[in-house]
Chains A and B, each alone.
Chain A
Amino acid sequence: MKGSLIILFFFCSGVMLSRLGLIPAYLLEHDCTVYALWLLMLLVGISIGSDRRLGEILRTLRPRVLLLPLATTAGTFAGTALASLFLTYSVSECMAVGAGFAYYSLSSIFISQYKGAELGTIALISNIARELATLLLTPLLARYLGPLMPIACGGASTMDTTLPVITRYCGKEWIFVSIVHAMILDFSVPFWVIFFCTL
């Protein structure tokens, strides 16, 4: 709980300062999230590499790990298809948005091209929200629902933005599982998005 609240606090203060115009234009033009992410990934790598249980962690990679991206994909599609019943968008449009799996940059560009700016913006907001939800909820999810749930929630982002939070709160033994999960989803994003857009 405390972890989630601290994360939420830092995110909200970033949004507020930015809205109030208190952030120098230089920082806004040069996306500093990338550098923060790179620093974080290097630190996570060092902490894994220096861990004496590295071999043990690597042994968590079994063929059954492939079930995780499958579950995330099936669940996302089932959820978005169900949600389309209550929205003004068609089933395939909703599933195209879901098929971004939090990989917002790529999916929103594809969807804007195929379906127009409105659905593209929805895809952008929806997938950023998924990444954010993962970042904010991981401490809670890992504690109350188990280490697989943050990975399911993170979708394709579990090998970059949300990887540090996941290794921090689920445990280091989930790092390679998390990377494999995201890699498979990542490569499937363009395929699924284009598939649902052309339906």
Chain B
Amino acid sequence: MFIALGLTFLGMALGFLLRGQPWLIWLTRCVTPAIMLLLFALGISVGGNETLMQSLPRLGGAALALTAASIVGSFACMALVNRFFPQSPAPAPLTGKPAASKSTKPEQQA
């Protein structure tokens, strides 16, 4: 957990130092494929977890009910504090693209 967060801050420092490099834009576009890779790896580890797979039919219902309840509850409370957060102070950047390239290329839809 701390390594992951440390890597993010390392990346921020790197990105800050190397700002304006053309290949950096290319690199930031790799975020989406990397998300796919993470999900694929997560699928492998969930599918390979025997304890999890075997107890899923018996305990899965209660577990998923609790998950759904926590998510819906969180949504309800978040909706209450929502008005303290002005939405999209900046033009919503839906793509993983840095703002630097915005002026030259049309905004890509997510």
Contacts and interface: CB of A to CB of B under 8 A. Distances in A.
A116 B74 CA distance: 27
Given A68-B78, A78-B76, A167-B31, 16 more contacts: A10-B40, A19-B53, A41-B8, A43-B31, A46-B18, A50-B20, A50-B21, A64-B85, A80-B69, A135-B42, A147-B87, A153-B75, A155-B70, A160-B4, A168-B32, A179-B5
Given A60-B89, A98-B69, A46 B12 contact: yes
Interface in B1-45: 1, 3-5, 7-21, 24-25, 27-28, 30-32, 34-45
Contacts of A145: 75
Interface string A42-58: 11111111111110100
5 contacts: A18-B44, A23-B48, A39-B34, A149-B78, A173-B93
Contacts of A31: 45
A37 B96 CA distance: 17
Contacts of A32: 41, 44-45
Contact of B39 (A122, A135, A172, A173): A135
A45 B8 contact: yes
A65 B6 CA distance: 21
Interface centre among B18, B19, B77, B94 (most CB of A within 10 A): B77
Q: Chain A interface mostly helix, strand, loop or mixed?
A: helix
Contacts of A82: 69, 73
B36 A125 contact: no
Interface of A: 3, 6-7, 10-19, 23, 27-28, 31-33, 35-54, 56, 60, 64, 67-68, 70-72, 74-80, 82-83, 86-89, 94, 97-98, 101, 118, 121-130, 132-133, 135, 139, 143, 145-149, 151-153, 155, 159-161, 163-165, 167-169, 171-173, 179, 186
Contacts of B38: 33, 36-37, 40, 161, 164
Chain B residues touching A, range: 35 or more
Interface of B: 1, 3-5, 7-21, 24-25, 27-28, 30-32, 34-48, 51-53, 55-56, 59-60, 62-78, 80-82, 84-85, 87-90, 92-94, 96, 98-100, 110
Contacts of B35: 7, 40, 164-165, 168
Nearest to A56: B90
A164 to B, nearest CB: 6
A52 B39 contact: no
Contacts of A64: 84-85
A121 B55 contact: yes
